[in-house]
Chain A
Amino acid sequence: MSDLSSKLNTGMVEKYRNNFLKEVEANVEEGDWVKMCMQCGVCSGSCPLGAHWDHPPQELFMMIRAGKRDEVLQSTSMWMCTSCYNCIVRCPRELPITHIMHGLAHYATRLGIEPKGQPTRQFAQLFWDNLAKHGRVNELWLGVNLYFMNGIVEGIKVALGMAGIGLGMLKSGRLSLKELIGGHTVKDKKGFHAMIKKAQELEAARVDGSN
């Protein structure tokens, strides 16, 4: 996968040479909208985690237009999106900013140049793997995987720190150890997996195949 993505990345650089905006328009979810930003900054000012972005959305849009490919795709910024949709409803140009942020994050992942240790990136990947496996999210495994994503030692520390919360959830019946074995799942796993695989193939053909 990493060989594949690195090949894809090189291919994209080659293909769009000077025009990162065009690359974004062609390959990023809702990327068509990037050119319509008018740089008012309402998105940046509306973001609940705005202070933690290296480059707030408005700036990312300008960087895309200025051809700053690596700085955009390797940025941790869009991984700060909490999906609160404040920017979307306030944008005077009605850009689907939340979706563009998700799209940029996904595209960077697809190219294999996303910031590897970024915690939200890791959690988001775990979440997807979790749901893609069973068709439904298994909250217990999600939590366990999350706490141990940085290794056993770190994981035990984090897990101990969260033990109070986990205990509370267990006591109130909102976390079940039954999930460790079996747990919730869709019945038609075969059809579900075939559907996801087909969707991934179609999408790959659109993005990767356009080389």
Chain B
Amino acid sequence: MATKEYSFYPGCSSQEGASSSNYLKSVQSMCDVLDIKLNVIPDWNCCSASIGYCGGGELPRLALSARNIALSEQHNAGQDIVATCAACWLATKETQERLDDDAGLMEETNVALAEAGLKLENKSKIRHMVEVLIEDIGFEEMGKHVTKPLDGIKIAGYVGCQTNRPFGIEGESFENPKYLDKFIETMGAEPVENYDKKVSCCGGALAFSEPEKSQALIKDIIEAAYDGGADMIVTPCPVCQMNVEVYQDKINAKYGTKFNIPVTYYSTLMSVAYGKNGKESGLNGQIIKAKQLEAIASK
């Protein structure tokens, strides 16, 4: 198969020394195996995620994503824009939709973009990495590259919110999407059936501002994974990954639980199953070490 090329929007959290830099690492290893080439959008900016609304009005926020799309259209012409972060994907896709629906906003956005010497066509397809994997590569092809099946690991596929709503993945339901379980299965691991908190909210950005309320949500997400017999949790979203992984000690202290469950990305699983080593798979980025994956990676 020929190399597949995409215009890549990595997003703030994947930058070096940022909270999901390990996500990017594993994505790169995975893409390397699947012959996917990611062309980073030059000089991309923050999408303002879903928390920029206080300071940023509608138009300034739309301008942010519009700038990224315009830069992509200028430098990576004809390529679909791909994001690995749920919030980046969502904000960009929302911008495209809103501007498509409202000619007035589109015009004003272009006036603002002109200040940065840019013009928006708004024609690029905006996609999440998992869409690319499912639709352009396919589960069968993904399975073919597995050299170290993740035998004997039981995994709760935690889809979370923003990869799932409001857009979601084509053909999946909002209440019980199945694709993450299929990823897990394809890599040779066993998904937790009927994972109760699969699409529940982890608190998102409110994990910072409302820690107690958010940690109560996170506690339920982890508890349900344990109830399903999970050895680890896997997610497609950087905020989900961080929230579910890093607060386990705090939750244990407050609720008397003994949580210590690793939380990784789907791309971490794929990287390891494709035979990449721990570093290439971003395993050193785990705060709670994914020991079973480490063992397979070092085999």
Residue in B closest to A106 when the chains form the complex, CB atoms: B53
Residue A5 is within 8 A (CB to CB) of chain B in the complex = no
Minimum distance in angstroms from B88 CB to a CB of chain A: 11
Binds A, one of B12-20, B149-157, B181-189: B12-20
Sorted nearest first, the 9 A-B pairs with minimum C-beta distance are A176-B17, A128-B55, A191-B116, A83-B50, A124-B54, A85-B165, A84-B201, A194-B115, A102-B53
Binds B, one of A35-43, A67-75, A165-173: A165-173
Instruction: Return the CB mask of B21-45 against A: 1 if under 8 Å, else 0.
Output: 1100000000000000000000111
Residue A109 is within 8 A (CB to CB) of chain B in the complex = yes
How many residues on chain A are close to B (CB under 8 Å)?
Answer: 67
Residues of B within 8 A of A (CB): 12-13, 15-22, 43-46, 48-60, 62-64, 67, 108-109, 111-118, 161-162, 165-166, 168, 174, 200-201, 203-206, 208-210, 213-214, 217, 246-247, 249-250, 284-287
Residue A49 is within 8 A (CB to CB) of chain B in the complex = yes
Q: How far is the CA of A164 from the CA of B246 in the complex (A)?
A: 9
B111 pairs with A197, CB closer than 8 A: no
Residues of A within 8 A of B50 (CB): 83, 98, 102
Please give 10 more A-B residue pairs, beta carbons under 8 A apart, in addition to A80-B206, A89-B174, A198-B111: A29-B58, A82-B204, A86-B165, A106-B57, A119-B210, A131-B45, A173-B284, A176-B16, A195-B118, A200-B57
Residue in B closest to A140 when the chains form the complex, CB atoms: B17
Minimum distance in angstroms from B225 CB to a CB of chain A: 17
A84 pairs with B161, CB closer than 8 A: yes
A85-B165, A89-B165, A164-B249 in contact; A184/B15 too (CB < 8 A)? yes
Residue A33 is within 8 A (CB to CB) of chain B in the complex = no
Choice from A88, A124, A128 contacting B166 with Cβ under 8 Å: A88
Residues of A within 8 A of B (CB): 29, 48-49, 52, 80, 82-86, 88-90, 98, 102-103, 105-106, 109-110, 114, 119-125, 127-129, 131-132, 135-137, 139, 143, 146, 164-165, 168-169, 171-176, 178-179, 184, 186-188, 191-192, 194-200, 202-203, 207
